[in-house]
């Protein structure tokens, strides 16, 4: 990976641009901003996977539960809680619903 061209990206730049343009606050995106956002996203994903792998009980694979544990335990990752929530049993969900209604 050290030999990898520093300008190349593993994320498709067109997809990154589409996601960035989906924000109503964005009118235009420079090529530099596009590449920097793509690279920053790759580094973020790499660090999230690395932390999850360190907590993994499955050896060299990362499961959903490790990702959810990281997201719910790290304060800096709280923004991902809606996307990667902890798994709960249906009975726990129903109990939560009952408590909210009372």
Q: pLDDT tens for residues 22-37?
A: 999 988 899 999 999 9
Are 83 and 72 in contact, with CB atoms under 8 Å apart?
A: no
What is the per-residue pLDDT for 8? 67
CATH of 13-101, one of 3.40.309.10, 1.10.20.10, 2.20.25.90, 1.20.120.530: 1.10.20.10
Cα 57 to Cα 76: distance, rounded to the nearest angstrom: 23
Selection from 14, 73, 70, 17 nearest residue 45 by Cα: 70
User: Is the pLDDT confidence value at 57 over 90?
Assistant: no
Are 33 and 16 in contact, with CB atoms under 8 Å apart?
A: no
Listed by start position, the domains of the chain span 13-101
Helix, coil or strand: residue 57: coil
Cα 29 to Cα 63: distance, rounded to the nearest angstrom: 35
């Amino acid at each position: 990976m050290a030999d990898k061209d520093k300008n190349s990206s593993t994320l498709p730049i067109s997809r990154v641009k589409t996601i960035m343009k989906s924000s109503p606050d964005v009118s235009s995106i420079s090529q530099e901003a596009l590449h920097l956002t793509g690279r920053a996203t790759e580094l973020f994903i790499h660090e999230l996977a690395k932390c999850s792998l360190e907590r993994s009980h499955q050896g060299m694979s990362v499961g959903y539960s490790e990702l959810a544990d990281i997201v719910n335990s790290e304060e800096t990752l709280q923004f991902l809680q809606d996307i990667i929530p902890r798994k709960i049993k249906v009975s726990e969900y129903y109990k939560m619903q009952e408590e909210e209604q009372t």
